Amino acid sequence: VLNQSMSAALSSQLVLHAVSPPPVLDESEAETAVPPSVPPNIISQLVQDLMKHTHDPACVALTIIIEIGEDVVKQLLLKWRETETNKPLLPRLFQRLGETNPTSENKSVSGYLVQLLCTWCAGAEVVVKNMLELHDCINLFDWLEQETNDSDGGNGTMVVTKGLMALLVGLWLEYLGECEHAGWSRNVIISTIKSRVGYS
């Protein structure tokens, strides 16, 4: 339903309201003010659900908003800050991913998280650079090291997650090109894959 009803303009408006909420009005202004066309806290609520619960729908909703909003939304979301901690969204997502590591009981949310990260950085070099600046990005290779046949219960969750993780690393390689950023380069990533995962 969200995918069918969402537009690029509405997606941008949702994120813009989350990044720069409308000013608080006094009583006299509030009486004559036009109500906002969208609630300003939807993005924050989705992130809150994602951080505090195993909430796959929140991941899916954020992914749809990013995909439809394209470049404008991808860049605006880099400016979003959590109210309680003032932390940006990317570090919070990587923190959540670390909490659902390859040895945790619930891995399904990780697949949705990696899909969200892939959608966010696809076609957006600035997002890739922000990801590579995070210390936790090295931990993503833990997923590529994980065996797919010993703890998945036969449901294919780990296979899908590892496939998405490989796609994410591929996007890093694509947008790094021949450059280096935050200590990462094509050679560094390829060497990390070779040493931790291997080529076979």
Q: Concatenate the DSSP letters of all residues of the chain into one string.
A: -HHHH--HHHHHHHHHHHHSPPPPP-HHHHHHPPPPSS-TTHHHHHHHHHHHS--HHHHHHHHHHHHHHHHHHHHHHTT-B-TTT--BHHHHHHHHHHHT-TTSS--HHHHHHHHHHHHHHTT-HHHHHHHHTSGGGGGGHHHHHS-SSSSSTTSSHHHHHHHHHHHHHHHHHHHHTT--BTTB-HHHHHHHHHHHT---
| pLDDT tens-digit map of 91-140 | 988 888 877 766 555 555 678 889 999 999 999 999 999 999 999 898 88
| pLDDT tens-digit map of 14-26 | 776 666 655 554 5
From 11-15, 32-36, 101-105, 174-178, the region with the lowest mean pLDDT: 32-36
The reported pTM is: 0.79
| pLDDT tens-digit map of 131-172 | 999 998 988 888 788 776 545 554 567 788 888 999 999 999
